[in-house]
Amino acid sequence: MRPEQGPDTSLRTFVTTVPPRLMIPALLDVKVWRHPLIAPYADERLKEDIAFLVGRIHTILQALERLPHTGVHGDASPQNLLVPADGSAEFVAVDWSWNSPSAIGFDLGQLLIGRVHDGLLPAADLPAVHEAVTDGYGSVTKHDGLAGALVLRSLWTAIPVHRLTDEPDDELHAYFANRVALARYLADLGRSLDLRRSTRSQQNINTLRRTLPSPPRRRGGIHTITRKRKLR
């Protein structure tokens, strides 16, 4: 599929409806940041940075909508990219979930943080994984499609506020420490975005369009399976 210019209606619908109702009010509540499962692990700037990015949701959406768009998986975490043991396919992509074309770089976000979200990777390892993704995808990661979409998709769910009523134990404290560290990483990504619309940024977008390769022909060995999406 050739990249096309156009809005990601699925991302816009999600980020303007679900987080404002279910996650953002709690993230802006001072009492939440005093909770013993969050306070020991959150630095004093994290709430402030999240509040800043809440106020920039529409700006980030507009920046993403100016990028080239293409079809995406929607949840391309490593857990959803399976390698068959019998060698019948290069990989099997499961849990296809996104109904709209999205900005180039969108799927790299879940590839980056998916294992942290599921508690399979320490957030401290994210810089090394990010570097590997950047090295592997080059020009795609230089135009904020990865960072912008990742912030809008995952920052609001990084701290699992719905579990603050669980009975605290060492395991739950470790879980929250890792997820707060994930929030810190995502907030830093968001604060690093250049949200100014400029001639230079438009030139960068045009350069990205010219450097994107033509899509490969569909291979018989690549299979897809759709299953009901779960909310992280």
Q: Can you read off the two tokens belonging to residue 133?
A: 């993704």
Read off the CATH number of the domain in which 184 is found. Answer: 3.90.1200
Q: Is residue 152 part of a domain?
A: yes
pLDDT at 196: 63
Predicted local confidence at residue 225, as pLDDT: 39
Per-residue pLDDT in tens (0 to 9) along the chain, 232 residues? 444 445 668 889 999 999 999 999 999 999 999 999 999 999 989 999 999 999 999 999 998 888 888 888 878 787 887 888 887 767 787 888 787 888 888 888 888 898 898 888 999 999 999 988 877 776 555 557 889 999 999 999 999 999 999 999 999 999 999 999 999 999 999 999 886 653 344 444 454 445 444 444 444 433 433 343 343 4
Alpha-carbon span 61 to 122, nearest angstrom: 29
Q: Is residue 230 part of a domain?
A: no
Structural domain that includes position 12: 4-225
Bridge-partner residues for 82, per DSSP? 92
**Residue 232 within a domain:** no
Q: Looking at beta carbons, which pairs linking 14-23 to residues 24 or more positions away fall under 8 Å?
A: 14/153, 15/57, 15/61, 15/152, 15/153, 15/156, 16/57, 19/156, 19/157, 23/156, 23/157, 23/161
> Into how many domains does the chain fold?
1
Q: Give a yes or no: residue 231 inside a domain.
A: no
Query: Is 56 inside a domain boundary?
Result: yes
